[in-house]
Structure 1
């Protein structure tokens, strides 16, 4: 059971790391696109609706795909004012409740977005602007995918919390056992 939990946790974290590397490239692509668009607009008075929409689509991909990576790395916003003074047991409880809430919110967003995305696919939704991107349905499809990645990373975070808790308890038991024998 312990090996299975560790393997599952490792697989989830490896997948999240891969998604994080993908978002790195999306970020670089978006920065390049914005720079080119700004140069074209201000130096040559040339603008493209398609390129401008692509900026927004890449930003949406960056955010929706990057949420799970930020969660894994602990880059999400936290308020440690009270948390820092909590005992390890209370911190563990707060962490578990927080991850379970994140999981619940992710599942709710997935559920709420599925009909929205299905409708977009069914009408082959495109940009309402002339010259815009014709695949609006594709970017909307990232909504449930992004939250599914957050839900998956939440499961990985729960596994890590319980794994670390078990290791800490095993270490404390071993330390107590060793001191009794000395």
Structure 2
């Protein structure tokens, strides 16, 4: 494999590994927000921001963790036949299906960029009592789709390498489920 391809895979996987590991800690933020919500309700002074903030944090947790989950092979796939295939046959099947994934992610990224730009342009706020700005979470969504596309391309390069009989070393091999 060309050096640039191996370098791309390593750089993207290192970036998604760091972001995914950091995003895991958002679960504690969600728990803290929900505990605070319960405490303020019990004190009969409910905080207006807690439910929306928990939702925003959950979106960030879920979407920023998706490229990391894909990298580790922890994503859900229909395993009726796939698991019984050898590595080269799996790579051929992945090579076919990755283009559908890239098309889907491209459409989602296009929509996310458009929605984020609109949100910034009109200073969009949520229609709730708290009325938070929506562009920060939309920016996170846009970033997550971009990272997912980068990871899908890294997967594509790995599959091409497998078909060529080359193994690109996995720096986080102890965590990979595949």
TM over 0.5: yes
Q: Distance in 1 between matches of 2:126 and 2:136?
A: 11
Given the two structures, how large is their TM-score scaled by the length of structure 1?
0.82
CA-CA distance at 1:100 after TM superposition: 2.1
Provide the C-alpha distance between the structure 2 equivalents of 1:23 and 1:148, rounded to a whole number of angstroms: 16
Aligned residues: 167
Residue equivalent to 1:44: 43
Structure 1 residue runs of 5 or longer lacking an equivalent are 170-182
Question: 1:89 and 1:159 mapped to 2: Cα distance?
Answer: 13
Select which of 157, 160, 163 maps to 2:161: 163
Q: How does 1:57-68 map to 2 (within 5 A)?
A: 57-68=56-67
The one-character-per-residue Cα deviations of 1:68-125 (angstroms, maximum 9, x if unpaired) are: 1111111111111122333544322111122222111111111123222211111101
The answer as to whether partners of 1:53 and 1:132 remain within 8 angstroms in 2 is no
Gaps of 5+ in 2: 168-178
The structure in which a higher percent of residues are helix is 1
- Give the conservation status (yes or no) of the 8 Å contact 1:23–1:65: yes
SS at match of 1:141: helix
Deviation at 1:8, TM superposition (A): 1.3
Does structure 2 conserve the Cα–Cα contact (< 8 Å) formed by 1:13 and 1:153? yes
Structure (1 or 2) with the larger CA radius of gyration: 1
Aligned to 2:147: 149
Contact 2:12 2:154 in 1 (8 A): yes
Aligned to 1:109: 108
Q: Distance in 2 between matches of 1:79 and 1:127?
A: 37
Q: Distance in 2 between matches of 1:17 and 1:167?
A: 25
Moved more, 10-19 or 115-124: 115-124
